Amino acid sequence: MKPIITGLTSLNRELRAVWMLLFVGLVLFIATPLFLTGDNLLNVLLAASVTALLAAGQTYVIILAEIDLSVGAILGISSIVTAFTLQDQPLVVGLLAGWGVGALAGLVNGLLVTKLRMPSFIATLAMMSVLSGLTLQLSQGNPVSIDDDDTFLAIGQASPLGVPNPVWIMLAAFVVFGLVLARSRYGRHVYAVGDNEDAARLAGIEVHRVKILAFVISGLLASTAGFILAARLGTAQPTAGTGLELAALAAVIIGGTSLAGGRGALAGTLIGALLLGVIDNGLNLLDVSPFLQGVVKGLVILVAIFLDRNSDRVRALTRLVRPRRPGSGADADTASPTTTGGTP
46: pLDDT strictly greater than 80: yes
Percent of residues, the chain, with pLDDT higher than 70: 85
Structure confidence by residue, pLDDT tens digits, 281-290: 998 998 888 8
* Within-domain flag for 209: yes
Residue 314 lies in a domain: no
Residue 323 lies in a domain: no
CA–CA distance, 251 with 236 (Å, rounded to integer):
24
Please provide the average confidence, as pLDDT, over all residues in the chain.
86
The answer to the question of residue 232 being in a domain is: yes
Which structural domain range is residue 228 located in? 2-308
Report if residue 123 sits inside a domain: yes
Residues 58 and 249: beta-carbon distance below 8 Å: yes
Q: Is residue 162 part of a domain?
A: yes
Total domains in the chain come to 1
The answer, yes or no, to whether residue 98 has pLDDT greater than 50, is: yes
120 assigned to some structural domain: yes
Comparing CA positions, the residue from 223, 290, 182 lying closest to residue 50 is 223
Task: Examine residue 316 and state whether it is found in any structural domain, yes or no.
Answer: no
Kindly state the average pLDDT of the residues 5-34. 75
CATH number for the domain including 261? Answer: 1.10.3470
